[in-house]
Amino acid sequence: MKLYNEADPAPNPRRVRIFLKEKGIDIELVPTPLMQRAHKSPEHLARNPLGQVPVLELGDGSCLSESVSICRYLEELHPEPNLFGRDAKERAFIDMWIRRVEFRLMMPLTQIWVHTHPFTAAVAKQSFGQQFKEFGEANRKPFDAACRMFDGELGGRGFIASERYTMADIVAQTTFDFARFIGVDIPEDCKHLAAWYARVGERSSAHSAVPEALMAQARGAAR
């Protein structure tokens, strides 16, 4: 198998890399640099017509995309340590929280990224004709509201979906890593959420952090 992948801080490939480290799975990583538009090349579009990474190429040549789907497939092949749930209830709760991260946190964060950050001005112009900066800034409010909802939940348990680290934590962790990269921070009053984020950041699987120079460049550009 091969994983077509982009280095930090791209959040979706990072989900899969953290998952691989948690599992102890070794897969060939094929660099697919977004800044060089490698994900839009004819070769990559044949692997994923959406022109996105990550993509997992299987032994038979078929290609699986979408980060959570890739991780579900790998969980079937390598069931331990379990990250998607041990029974019907736990699997459902993990899935519920993954969806909440993606819809309540990642969606507004994406709009902030696309419509306010200098790095994405060309992408926004190509897709929408221009950056709608007022719309992008307006998405900070639902992002902060979602943070407070997660903060309230984490006041009663140690991790996003249960009392152990799961795929829901990986999806949330990489979302907040990306938020930090583009200059969007956890609200100061979200103490439980901030403590959780610090705790998961100490795991060995998280230690492929974004270089500080790149982090400073992105946050500086966002101001």
How far from 67 is each of 55, 56, 89, 208, CA to CA, in Å? 8, 9, 22, 18
The 10 Å Cβ neighbour count of residue 180 is: 19
Contact 11, 52 (CB under 8 A): no
pLDDT at residue number 93: 98
SS3 content of the chain, % helix, strand, coil (to 5): 60, 5, 30
Is it the case that residue 89 has pLDDT exceeding 90?
A: yes
Instruction: Summarize pLDDT for 29-43 with one digit per residue, the tens.
Output: 999 998 899 999 999
First to last CA, the chain: 41
Q: What domains are defined for the chain?
A: 2-77 (3.40.30.10), 88-222 (1.20.1050.10)
Give the residue-averaged pLDDT of 119-133.
Answer: 94
The confidence score (pLDDT) of residue 211 equals 47
Q: Which residue has the higher pLDDT, 222 or 152?
A: 152
List the beta bridge partners of residue 5: 31
> Quick one: which of 31, 23, 133 has its CA closest to 84?
23
Band (221; pLDDT cuts 50, 70, 90)? low
CA distances from 54 to 44, 58, 164, 177 (A): 11, 13, 26, 17
User: What are 141's two structure tokens?
Assistant: 């409010």
